[in-house]
Chains A and B, each alone.
Chain A
Amino acid sequence: MYEKDGEKYFVVDGHLHFWDGSPENQKNIHGKQFIDCFYGYHSALSPEEYLWPQEKFEKYSEEDMMHDLFEIGYVDVGIFQPTYLTDFYINGFNTTEQDAVLKEKYPDKFILNGSFDPRNGENGLVEFENLVNKYDLKGVKLYTAEWHGDSKGWSLKDDWAKRYLEKCQELEVKNIHVHKGPTITPLNRDAFDVKDVDDAATEFSELNFIVEHVGLPRLDDFCWIAVQEANVYGGLAVAMPFIYSRPRYFAQIIGELLYWLDEDRLLFSSDYAIWHPKWIVEMFADFQIPEDMQSEYGTLTPDIKRKILGLNAARLYGIEVPDEIPQPEAVGPAGEPTYPEQPLR
């Protein structure tokens, strides 16, 4: 929990990793490039005092993680989002099983999410059901850009993807986190296209679709989908850390999101260990839309910040929030704009 200026915030970090990107685990050059790319994100957007050496970033310890999140980072509950990448890493980059070790040790601190890959077909479906039952999963993280044998990615519109989503509905795995990028093939396609989320959200209206990093760099496409589909949410991984180096840009992103969605559909995430939650939580609690932008974007109230920092994720995952935290009502979805009828693209 974080407290500032008399306001209390319950913090749910919606996107955590416990990865092994070390050279010993890298299967090929792609494994090296992938962790290098993450390290680039970390270095480009973190305040200097939070920068890690590359070696620590490649593989950090359980102690580091527990300390950073729960001792100094104000996080009450964190959600593990696995990223398998078994074609890049010998033991996978960050599997459900790896995360489960910490979940079992600290059951109240973590929510464990699983994953599926529809390209595994019928056998994969059985394995997925076993995984859900074994860990009592309530959510999955899907990584449509992931390579797999000859396949360079998949779509939520694929027939097999639908079979898996039907299974999620049946098993009450309600929260479908969808990650787009960082790069995908077929190489000619747009890596970050979120169109398939639109179709899936329409077809599976009982499920919640949380688009990670709010579709960035395609914020406009994401907003358009979220306006149409009330069960589409935005995960703020990658967007949050702009608050430090580019606060005016951060104000615009948050302003756009609050305009098109509503304050009940945005989820704070640090994407740990890419970024550290401590500085993001502190800066967000202090943050305000700059005065010259307020006529366009309005202001952020403590209630809006409380919802984003924890209450929205708590609602999706049924996490109990202490009584001392104010719990404002949901505002309900905004009216459906009549224009544009199609995304402007």
Chain B
Amino acid sequence: MKPTEAAVLGALSGVRDPELDEPITDLQFVSELRIEEDAVDVRLRLPTPLCAPNFAYLMVADTREAVLSVPGVREARISLDGHYASEEINAGMADGRGFEGTFPGETEGESLDELRTIFRRKSFVSRQEKLCRALLAEGRSSEELAEMRLEEVPESGEFEKYLQRRAELGLDISPEAPLVVDPNGNRVPKDAVVQHLRFARTVRVSIEGNAGFCRGLLATRYGMPKEEEIRS
């Protein structure tokens, strides 16, 4: 069975920029997709040639894994264009050398998994803030949020995204688990919830702003129309 474009795009939309917490398809990082029988070619591009090579590598690796997960795909050829380390990353990926094997002597200390975890935790905090923000806007108080259990949270897209990230971090997502927890899963004390969400907002603003900046740079680099805010 030949894989369909829709199926491959669906898989690609599950790949997120680890730093920006948005799908690479929404960010327009996928510049080309070709399907020939059971082989899929995907070309990726980034906002600048100097984008962090670690994040670049993670996205290429995640893209490959996502494409290979589509039924009927036997071969996935992923290439990153226009990056200062394009050649190394593409060759390393083709030979299955892993990140450290791709850049011998240029890594030390933390592994890429740890880096990924740092940003998953940030995005967890950001998603929690978005969800709580929506709940507060619906009239709940921060005291109520402090007491709330997951089973008491109404269904919503924000809630689903929050749970997904919470599960990825290995935190408790059982119905009776508290809603507001820190990235280690500890319940945030009632008298600290306001300050917790206040700081969480800064995390969200930072991630969202960065995503906006990267979109602008990509649009400029590849001559795409820029999305601008409506100026008041």
Question: A residues touching B (Cβ–Cβ < 8 Å)?
Answer: 29-30, 33-34, 36-37, 40-41, 43-45, 150, 152, 182-191, 216-220, 223-224, 242, 245-249, 252-253, 256, 259-260, 290, 337-340, 344-345
Contacts and interface: CB of A to CB of B under 8 A. Distances in A.
B54 A249 contact: no
Interface stretch (B36-44, B63-71, B109-117, B153-161): B109-117
A189 B47 contact: no
A245 B216 contact: yes
Contact of B231 (A247, A253, A259): A247
Given A37-B50, A339-B196, 7 more contacts: A37-B48, A185-B103, A191-B52, A246-B228, A256-B205, A337-B195, A338-B195
B106 interface: yes
A217 B209 contact: yes
Contact of A345 (B19, B107, B118): B118
Given A37-B48, A340-B196, A345-B122, A186 B206 contact: no
Nearest to A184: B52
Contacts of B110: 188-189
Contacts of B49: 33, 36-37
Interface string B166-208: 0000000000000000110000000010011011111101111
Contacts of A30: 84
A242 to B, nearest CB: 8
B182 A340 contact: yes
Contacts of B3: none
A247 B232 contact: yes
Contacts of B11: none
B125 to A, nearest CB: 5
A339 B217 contact: no
Contact of B216 (A45, A152, A248, A340): A45
Contacts, number: 153
B229 A247 contact: yes
Contacts of B232: 247, 290
B212 A246 contact: yes
B165 interface: no
A253 B201 CA distance: 11
Contacts of B52: 183-184, 190-191
A150 B110 CA distance: 19
10 contacts: A37-B50, A183-B52, A185-B53, A189-B110, A189-B115, A191-B54, A216-B213, A220-B199, A246-B229, A247-B231
A295 B118 CA distance: 31
Interface of B: 19, 47-54, 57, 84-85, 99-100, 103, 105-112, 115, 118, 121-122, 125, 182-183, 192, 195-196, 198-203, 205-210, 212-213, 216-217, 219-221, 226, 228-229, 231-232
Given A187-B106, A344-B121, A44 B219 contact: yes
A185 B110 CA distance: 12
A248 B229 contact: yes
Given A40-B47, A218-B206, A187 B220 contact: no
B209 to A, nearest CB: 5
Contacts of A184: 52
B202 A220 contact: yes
B227 to A, nearest CB: 9
Contact of A190 (B48, B118, B205, B210): B118
A245 B231 CA distance: 8
B84 A187 contact: no
B206 A217 contact: yes
Main secondary structure of the interface of B (DSSP, over half): helix
B70 to A, nearest CB: 29
Nearest to B194: A339
Most buried by A among B107, B125, B206, B229: B206
A302 B208 CA distance: 28
Contact of A216 (B111, B182, B209, B229): B209
Given A44-B216, A220-B122, A247-B232, A187 B196 contact: no
Contact of A187 (B103, B121, B205): B103
Nearest to A152: B106
Contacts of A249: 205, 208-209, 212, 229
A252 B106 contact: no
Contacts of B217: 40-41, 44
B50 A34 contact: yes
A340 B48 CA distance: 34
Contact of B182 (A219, A338, A344): A344
Contacts of B203: 220, 344-345
Given A188-B108, A188-B112, A29 B84 contact: yes
Contacts of B106: 152, 185-187
Contacts of A188: 54, 99-100, 107-112, 115
Given A189-B115, A245-B216, A344 B107 contact: no
Contact of A217 (B19, B105, B109): B19
A217 B213 contact: yes
